[in-house]
Structure 1
């Protein structure tokens, strides 16, 4: 098994607001990537375990929300390892959008 892909995304929202934004925005973020489907998203407090399918392959991971950053850890199957760098950049970009974009009230 390969080493997990880890992305840390800083934020200034506080833990509670970061969790709220992630819960409401993850489905939309995943839907914007046509080759990816979220198969499971299970929250327990400030952590989420997820399973996604991309290009027919299953990847698993966990999101841990802290007061000043979000840590995303994803274990990719070997067929998706060649896309690890792109996945890391996409996770970071979409995470920053969710955690820094001003919401319209």
Structure 2
């Protein structure tokens, strides 16, 4: 079965990147609730194994969060191969937003 592969560098370190990815994925679940069904994800150390169904297509793969890199790869049914480039681009863009977004700083104290 053909697949997809995306690599995104990050400056966070492994532990911080895992925490950020987990937090954002939880928030995104609700956003894609109508488009994504049967979402499953399991963490095994720094590797997330995932599967879901969208537009009648089953997607399965892994996300490996390393010290300076996040690697997402998985399988696509032949019916989805026309969308491989778009799928990889979407994954890359979302991951870049997650791991390269600066942390929110606390509000500054008002001048006295």
> TM-score, normalised on structure 1?
0.89
**Partner residue, 1:20:** 19
Q: Quick check: 1:100 aligned with 2:110?
A: no
Q: Would the aligned equivalents of 1:39 and 1:53 in 2 still touch at CA under 8 Å?
A: yes
**Partner residue, 1:8:** 7
Partner of 2:67, secondary structure, is coil
Larger radius of gyration: 2
Distance 1:80 1:27, change over 3 A: farther
Gaps of 5+ in 1: none
**Partner residue, 2:110:** none
1:1-105 alignment runs, 5 A limit? 1-2=1-2, 4-29=3-28, 31-33=30-32, 35-37=35-37, 39-105=39-105
Partner of 2:61, secondary structure, is strand
Q: 2:28 and 2:38 mapped to 1: Cα distance? A: 10
RMSD: 1.6
Gaps of 5+ in 2: 106-112
Point out the more displaced range, 35-44 or 83-92.
35-44
Aligned-residue offset at 1:30:
5.1
> TM-score, normalised on structure 2?
0.84
Q: Would the aligned equivalents of 1:38 and 1:50 in 2 still touch at CA under 8 Å?
A: no
Q: 2:38 and 2:99 mapped to 1: Cα distance? A: 20
